[in-house]
Structure 1
Amino acid sequence: MQNTKRVIKNVKGKKKLVSLAIEYCLFFLVARFTGLRKEEVASLHTGQIINPDMKKPMLMFGVGDEYGSLTKTKDGTNKSRQTVIPSAIMKKLYKYTKSPRYKKRQEKFQELCDKKREEGETAFFESVDGVDANKCYVFISATGVPFFLKLNELNNRWNEVRNTAKEVVGHDIDAVIHNLRSTFAVALFRMLLKKKDADTALAMVSGFLGHESLAITLLYLKIAEEEPTGDEIYEDVLEFLGVFDDMGELEDKLLPSEGEQS
């Protein structure tokens, strides 16, 4: 994740290798290892980012109204919940938000907010998913636009990553960003089953995902039951991004070994 990744992009009808901005690499990384929806990742702010204790492999991570970020529910409310995030990923986010690159984008964001105020565009701030000028959003474009206002752009970048991974691994990858939630659910469920009974593990995963019912979570987990390699296909995309560089010992550390205190 430290090196700039390159993806295949269609430029005027021709395939070209172009750099994939670190913001997108981090975005997809967070989505995969937290199970957050793309709207939820896109609205994260620096108030949710800490310099983690690397002795702890996993952290609890809150999203929603209580934590000042957006969640999406069927009834349109902004419910709060907690999920997990690997400390290694939190560290990457922390370092990024301290970088000159991020600070420059934050300045652009403030300039954009000032411009919107001057032009009287109150809807920019007062709509349901309006911008809070007092927040330092983690994911901001080079022109200062928060990613949650550029969801189509996220889809475009994902398609470029997916198509590039397809070229690398040699088979079709039919997955959208939302599929990363299924991948998160399956991987976490498998780890939890080492220490928990199936009902408890299912309830925990469902809570992390913010599902209204366990039935929805079960649909996610059917990827592993009906298509044993389904989640692995999505991992090909993340493998291309290099997101496993710091994750080698994560599975063993997530839950205590026999004889250790939980």
Structure 2
Amino acid sequence: MVIDLNADLGEGFGIWRLGDDLALLDIVTSANVACGFHAGDPVTIRRTCAAAVDRGVSIGAQVSYRDIAHFGRREMDVEQEELCAEVLYQLAAVDGIARAMGGRVSYVKPHGALYNRICRDRDQASAVIEAVADYDPSLPVLTLPGSVVHEVAAAAGVPTITEAFADRAYTPQGTLVPRREPGAVVHDPEEVSARAVRMAVDKSVVAADGSVVPVSPRSICLHGDTPDAVRLARGVRDDLLAAGVVLQAFA
């Protein structure tokens, strides 16, 4: 049982800070670094990449819609060529900074509304995968199991990695409950840890209606912007280790 722990980091902007990136970097094995389109700025990206390199944490480019006002959580209809170019722009920018800090981007994880959209929208999934393939087709893309992006990526020769969310509620179909709905985010530390262990060991999660959904993750995501994010992440890490799970980055 080998699991990667990833978290969304570098999501501050200017003088505004979100979450405790340094504390989370001592816990997780992979860092999804905001690329500046939903959050983040050059200084924040540089500091986050440098801190990740210092700790041996894998760096991922967290690409998103150009939507700072809504933190990338507003679904947008973007022309396929434009979306491809914007994803390529974000990926190249963060990878350039990461390399200057002694590391590199080793995977791609779409953020927020873009993440959910490409699970079902073949055109937008194709735009994201085309950008990754143009830049480096060996870079894996993190996504939910059963997503259309798996098929699109396979056709382009781009690898995919399945992930699960310990702190998010699931629908019976295996998708995430929209954030606007009550109970979409799980805040209880014991429940979050128990869900993570079940995902890693039993390869399943209990959906919002009580049904059991298969997940089979290689990586488990924890959100850095939730209240008590560090405490939640530390509890998940400790309980996974206690269950005999090996924590190791996939990339």
For normalisation by structure 2, the TM-score amounts to 0.25
Question: Relative to total residues, which structure has the larger strand share, 1 or 2?
Answer: 2
Report the structure number with the largest CA radius of gyration. Answer: 1
Question: Relative to total residues, which structure has the larger helix share, 1 or 2?
Answer: 1
